[in-house]
Structure 1
Amino acid sequence: MTYGHRHTGRRRARAAVAVGLLVFLSAACTGGPGGTVPSGQGGQAAEGPIIVASGLDVTGSGSVRQQLIEEWNRRHAGSKAEQAKLVELPGAADQQRSQLLGALQSGSARYDVVNLDITWIPEFAEAGLISPLPVAETGVAAEDERDFIRRVHATTVWKGRSYARPFNTDVGLLYYRPDLLTAADITVDKQPHDDWTWDQLYSSVKTLGLNPVSADERAGWTTQLAPYEGLTVNTVEAFADAGVELTDSEGKYRSSAGKLKDGLDKLLDRVGQGQVQPAATSSHETESLTDFAEGRAVFLRHWPYAYGALAGLMGRAEQYAVNRLPGKAVLGGQNLAVTSVTADSPRAANARALITFLTSRESERCLLDAGFAATRASVYESTAKPCWPRVAAALRPAGDVPRAAATGEGAPERQTPEARAAYIRILGEALTEAVQRPRTPYYGAFTQVLQTHVHALLGRTRPDTAEAAEQLDKDLRNVFAGR
């Protein structure tokens, strides 16, 4: 969910790719990252293992992705060509993007399947680094495709072709502290519900009498406003609530300075009227989660994996609850794609079969149980297929951490089955209405421009949003035109 920096449009994006090339060319001399083997003959060999490149598992659940790979390997134990290996790339998402671009463009590491952030699909597709999937017109294959949540599946599409299958998804959620609200006599009927609004959140914050001026004081809410992808996500959510549409489905710019001002004003309202935690402007996912768990914020905008992580951080299940985010929520997540080199080789059939297994109904249930958001609609139903038994047995409960060992206290209290079922319903509903970030091959440049402009505004006492919107409009026109 993060990226890098830009000075003038694509120049820094190209610099990031160059850094990635240097990293992978160096790694190739020692066999590639994670023990992968250089491609040699362009990845044409049919032998195994099938190499899957992915970012790190953030759920803390015992690496569900690795467990799913191991389940696949057990089911194909008699075939060396069908064995698979997971390579987890280090660093934040912007670093992973640069590494993958460098590796696929240079051939310095042989990857058959790549687990791409949903915002990277247009860029990798446009560059010819991943291959479009065969079209399933009718029958079982087409029916299986329709089980993916529509808005989630749309993240795999670029210029009318699907280039991947949704693996795990993400969506913004609102976490809150019922204990702190009740202590302030905010009754149950005034606490977050399905159609709660930002104005109601502001009203609750006013009732709580919160006005933090330092990071150690309790705030109304917290989120991720450091200059990285978290800031982009929060900004796009505010823009969407203000009716700002940045691009069409093919990456053409659609906004204006006037509309951008509305979006910037909406974001600044959330910061000011919501009495955001002062530390939020330097917070990533971990810091904002900790501030909420330790009582320095009553509300928290975060991702689904926080639901399980909070059990380990807080210890008592009744101290936190979750609901849909007021207003619009942005989609996140990763999609599995076959690299173009492998798509033209005898390895293609095995690579696609592995992706089909990893995105099956059973595998998606494993992902949900581990703390990720599943991509299939059927997984959120009461009749959903269970997780593969051996994978389920290997996983810790979602978000489990060795709290008892660290603090000497007892094991954290889990949410009740009823609370867990309500959470799954809320998550499924949020995914059906979530919005996408701009679909563009120039996403890396876009997110850097947006972060730079918005973070500068957050540091000003009385920012001129009209002036800021004018400059942002000019820069975004250049970015989305590839200049």
Structure 2
Amino acid sequence: MTHCDRRTNHRRGRAAVALTCLLALVSAACTGGPGGAPQDGQGKPAEGPIVVASGLDVTGSGSVRQQLIEEWNRRHAGSKAEQAKLVELPGGADQQRSQLLGALQSGSARYDVVNLDITWIPEFAEAGLIRPMPVGESGATAAEGDLDFIPQVHATTVWKDRSYARPFNTDVGLLYYRPRLLTAADIKADKQPNDHWTWDQLYSSVKTLGLNPVRRDERAGWTTQLKQYEGLTVNTVEAFADAGVELTDSEGKYTSDAGKLKKGLDTLLDRVDRGRVQPAALTSDETASLTDFAEGRAVFLRHWPYAYGALGSLMRPQDYAVNRLPGKAVLGGQNLAVTADSPRAEAAGELITFLTSPESERCLLDAGFAATRASVYGSTAKPCWPRVAAALRPAGDAPKAAATGEGAPQGQGEDERAEYIRILGEALAEAVQRPRTPYYGAFTQVLQSHVHALLAAERPDTDEAAAKLDKELRDVFAGK
């Protein structure tokens, strides 16, 4: 956390100069003068390529991000300075964040565009590592940006009333379930339009099914991601949101207290009661929980949108379905930002515009990501770029679970997929954010540590846990 304190003033000054150049479009050091050719710091044409740093593609769809970069390059084949290159960073989210912070602070890596987890925007913006985005021509304010972006999703790009990125691919929690098991138990599985499960209905269904697992090889009512990593933070924030507990305001100021935290922790404990949740959930991440569901060890699964494509390669179409998550669902995803030190800022901004266009967003949706634009979920959505669409393979090269029945799984049909897209669009429109703070890395580690210890305890004491968590969160959100 101290890197922000040490470098903030210096970085803010550099970011302010960079923004002035970008908006005025007159300084050769920022925009390159006539013709818009990118320039370096001495006014000379900046050499390409435009380097995009990103995490790994989890959809298994043939790297749609790489395919979109290649489409951009085909459209700018006559300009070496405008060619782009994708650099995929290894490791998990925490490792990628550390790599990007270190590279941008030291200048050791030449990145022009960074694909940031939505929770990192305040930290990178506060440190002056990324540039505010210019206001578009839609008539929207800087904080609103392009009005086609789903409002809740675009809000993840904003810090202190300024937008620092464009939404690239988003995420939201969804509920996957086994409809034939529910039907066999005379539980209504086919939901009506605009209707979705409540947690009480899920609890009632688990009781009707008579599921009370003791060992991880037994079938449970549901499973999720409770391992001590970001998945645990997401599940905890969703439980807190259902209990009406908000940890911070829009500018990262702590707004909770021990009493509120206890209410949220009690809600989480009730949700993951050992008679309802798969015992393996306490050590499960996305891959493990998806495997448990696909192999029959859970009737319900909380997971991200890419699981829909993954299940198509693991299960028969009639054996799984999807609906909105009971209660509140947390947003995930990544946003594209221009780095403060990029000598190709104008070209980098144009690349971001292309990568977040309606056509590109449709490519992302087809590949298994959730799109960030509302129009992509409508009946008149623009199709994916033809050459990108042709290069993609069906999403879902996921964990190798054993499918049941004869023949290879083929995925669900067009009607089922259209219903899935409708459900996904509705879930995104009502999703909630994790705390907005430049100290998110410290926050999530503190939360995970306390919550995981509580879940693992034989006799969990939420009064004590809430008091300790409250004390540490006050320090974290104050930057101590």
TM-score range, shorter chain: 0.7 to 0.9
Which runs of 5 or more structure 2 residues have no equivalent in the other structure?
6-39
Equivalence map 1:88-103=2 (5 Å): 88-103=88-103
| Cα shift at 1:411 | 4.0
Q: Which of 364, 367, 390 lines up with 2:364 in the alignment?
A: 367
| Cα shift at 1:191 | 9.8
Please give the TM-score of this superposition, normalised by the length of structure 2. 0.88
Please give the TM-score of this superposition, normalised by the length of structure 1. 0.87
| Cα shift at 1:359 | 0.1
| Cα shift at 1:171 | 0.2
**Letter of the aligned partner of 1:204 in structure 2?**
S
1:415 counterpart residue number: 412
* 1:139/1:478 CA distance change after superposition, 3 Å: closer
1:442 aligns with 2:439: yes
* 1:464/1:98 CA distance change after superposition, 3 Å: same
Partners of 2:145 and 2:154 within 8 A in 1? no
SS of corresponding position for 1:145:
coil
SS of corresponding position for 1:272:
coil
Distance in 2 (CA, whole Å) between partners of 1:428 and 1:375 is 9
Partners of 2:82 and 2:347 within 8 A in 1? yes
**Letter of the aligned partner of 1:243 in structure 2?**
G
RMSD after superposition: 2.7
1:278 aligns with 2:279: yes
Equivalence map 1:90-239=2 (5 Å): 90-136=90-136, 138=138, 145-188=146-189, 194-239=195-240
The percentage of counterpart residues that share the same residue type is 82
Partners of 2:222 and 2:299 within 8 A in 1? yes
Which runs of 5 or more structure 1 residues have no equivalent in the other structure?
1-9, 15-39
Deviations 1:266-302 (A, max 9, x none): 0000011761100001000000000000000000000
1:426 counterpart residue number: 423
1:82 aligns with 2:78: no
Partners of 1:223 and 1:280 within 8 A in 2? yes
SS of corresponding position for 1:87:
strand
Deviations 1:450-476 (A, max 9, x none): 000000001112211011101100100
* 1:388/1:144 CA distance change after superposition, 3 Å: farther
2:392 counterpart residue number: 395
Distance in 2 (CA, whole Å) between partners of 1:397 and 1:58 is 13
2:36 counterpart residue number: none
Distance in 1 (CA, whole Å) between partners of 2:402 and 2:233 is 37
Equivalence map 1:55-74=2 (5 Å): 55-74=55-74
1:336 counterpart residue number: 336
**Letter of the aligned partner of 1:211 in structure 2?**
N
Partners of 1:42 and 1:341 within 8 A in 2? no
* 1:205/1:138 CA distance change after superposition, 3 Å: closer
Partners of 2:220 and 2:298 within 8 A in 1? yes
Partners of 1:338 and 1:352 within 8 A in 2? yes
Partners of 1:44 and 1:341 within 8 A in 2? no
Distance in 1 (CA, whole Å) between partners of 2:476 and 2:42 is 33
Partners of 2:49 and 2:84 within 8 A in 1? yes
Question: Which segments of structure 1 move beyond 6 Å, counting only runs of 4 or more?
Answer: 11-14, 40-44, 140-144, 190-193, 401-409
Deviations 1:359-410 (A, max 9, x none): 0000000000000000000000010000000000000122256989999974
Partners of 2:177 and 2:299 within 8 A in 1? yes
Partners of 2:314 and 2:401 within 8 A in 1? no
Distance in 2 (CA, whole Å) between partners of 1:146 and 1:57 is 27
Instruction: Give the number of equivalent residue pairs.
Output: 445
